[in-house]
Structure 1
Amino acid sequence: MSAALARQRQALILEAVRRDGAVRVSDLVEQLGVSDMTIRRDIGELSRRGLVARVHGGAAAPEGRSSEEPGYVAKSALQTEEKRAIGAVAAALVRPGSSVALSAGTTTVEVARALLDVPGLTVVTNSPRVAEVLHEPARHDRTVILTGGIRTPSDALVGPVAVRSLQTLHVDRLFLGVHGLHPDAGLTTPNLVEGETDRALMAAASSVVVVADHTKWGVVGLSTIAALDEVDVLVSDTALPPEAREIARERTGRLLLAGARPGDTGHPGDAPDAGPDTDTHTEDEESLP
């Protein structure tokens, strides 16, 4: 009987992963009425069979082809702590009264949350979720401009309408989320049209800040957005491998690692102005543009 129940649970878990792209252990415990250990055992069995990938706090669809595009819900369950830390470090680069652009993505949503206390911002975005975070009718000092376009699985508004609206705009800084980072392929996305819109966002910005956790390194999507040397600042986390750090130092204008303390990797005392509650470490001393 217990084996039959386990198979039923695993079938429900697999169905949820295939539908949403990822599931959290805590959600499954509540939905199925079993213990945390039981759910983890089920996920382990599904992972052993190659049906799901085990991730921190849950399970996700196994990695696939370069054209496969995970949905927003799936990506939002992954590397949540790293993304939150990256968002805080990235937001510390923004001065009051600036104009900024944010692309779509789960990491840029964390940047948006970290920008809530920065006064006087003008924000351009092709992400309805970013716009929702930043839109506060009572905040008369903040302007949020949402591009039009066709919505992708990652909740980006893309296509000719988005590109045309971006071609007339100019912002101080772009915060760009990406599907993958690779020494040769550069910044990539599985969606061709989203790649075109991301390039329009880059063209509208005086400075490009890429926000990407360590799991994005080495991943190659179908379409290249830009080369690494077109990135002014890369914000990642301390789990970024040493060889990736070295390449990022050489190819990008500046590397910031969320969660690092000054001296962790050889450049002591060079934390940027991220505020007293954020531990950061600057990997490259080149000044920001």
Structure 2
Amino acid sequence: MNARQLMIIQLVNERGSISVGELAKITEVSEVTVRQDLNMLEKASYLKRIHGAAVSTESDDVQARMHARFPLKQDLAEYAASFVKEGESVFIEGGSTNALLARFLSNNKDITIVTVSHYIASLLKESQCEIIVLGGLYQKSSESVVGPLTRSCIQQVHFQKAFIGIDGWHPDTGFTGKNMLRCDIVNAVMDKGVETFALTDSSKFGHIHPYPISHSHHFSHVITDSGLSTEYQEILEQRDTRVHIVPDRPLKAG
């Protein structure tokens, strides 16, 4: 995959949909070349084609989502890693930013990572840290486990902090998710009463999805980027959630 195709994936995921003509202008190639790129990317399940445009697949595939806004997600993950102390056990749920967080923590042999994500476990197979992979019903699309067995496992293990990926937040609904079974697992983690972090880029805010998260327990922290509106930040902090804004990378000269 070349740099232009990575840029197309990023644009489609950021905007939800974008026309072939606009992609051609941004990438400075012909519409014919863009269509060829879109055909290849659709076959690889990175996006979907519609007449004259490309749209996001809303995919749970972690590797595909990793390409969208990668430098930003890397910065969020690195910032989140600074909250983890020597000797701690931490729960890392799933998703692309959490996978990058796990990678940042992976070479610390004094940290234990508890996860439902087989993708994260596979990513860390050469790591120095201890990894506890919970059991349950395997969801192929997200490479995570869910269901009653996973809930039972969560009740049997202990950790000091939990890092959760979210799909949406709105003042009227709070945090929400797209997958009922994954939201159920997140709520089981929240019920343990540990320090919790919603780790996500700002594009998720303002969106409502079907399944509620954390109605009984609020998130201790939100780690996100400067795209979060001041209004939303104030509402979250009024609800006793501390908001951490990770600064943008400085622009390189020249």
TM-score by length of 1: 0.67
Contact 1:126–1:146 under 8 Å retained in 2? yes
| Matching residue within 51, 54, 62 for 1:52 | 54
Deviation per CA, 1:62-91: give whole Å up to 9, x if none: xxxxxx654323322212111111101111
| Matching residue within 146, 150, 161 for 2:149 | 161
Offset, 1:172: 0.3
1:17 corresponding residue in structure 2: 42
Letter paired with 2:122:
E
Are residue 145 (structure 1) and residue 170 (structure 2) matched? no
Deviation per CA, 1:83-128: give whole Å up to 9, x if none: 1111011110010000100001001011112213434112110011
| Matching residue within 207, 213, 220 for 2:195 | 207
| Matching residue within 202, 217, 220 for 2:205 | 217
Q: Give ranges in structure 1 of 5+ residues lacking alignment.
A: 24-45, 54-59, 62-67, 262-289
| Matching residue within 119, 123, 127 for 2:117 | 127
2:70 corresponding residue in structure 1: 80
Offset, 1:216: 0.7
Contact 1:209–1:234 under 8 Å retained in 2? yes
Offset, 1:201: 2.1
Q: Give secondary structure in 2 for the equivalent of 1:230.
A: coil
User: How many pairs were matched up?
Assistant: 219
| Matching residue within 201, 223, 236 for 2:224 | 236
User: How many Å separate the matches in 2 of 1:228 and 1:90?
Assistant: 24
Contact 1:123–1:145 under 8 Å retained in 2? yes
User: How many Å separate the matches in 2 of 1:83 and 1:228?
Assistant: 28
Contact 1:89–1:258 under 8 Å retained in 2? yes
Letter paired with 1:114:
F
User: How many Å separate the matches in 2 of 1:163 and 1:174?
Assistant: 15
User: How many Å separate the matches in 2 of 1:16 and 1:83?
Assistant: 22
User: How many Å separate the matches in 1 of 2:33 and 2:123?
Assistant: 38
1:96 corresponding residue in structure 2: 86
Structure number with greater Rg is 1
TM-score by length of 2: 0.75
Pair 1:202–1:134, CA change in 2 (3 A):
farther
| Matching residue within 179, 184, 190 for 1:196 | 184
User: How many Å separate the matches in 2 of 1:155 and 1:221?
Assistant: 21
Pair 1:213–1:47, CA change in 2 (3 A):
farther
Offset, 1:48: 8.7
Q: Give secondary structure in 2 for the equivalent of 1:175.
A: strand
Q: Give secondary structure in 1 for the equivalent of 2:213.
A: strand
Letter paired with 2:152:
R
Offset, 1:194: 0.9
| Matching residue within 144, 162, 171 for 1:183 | 171
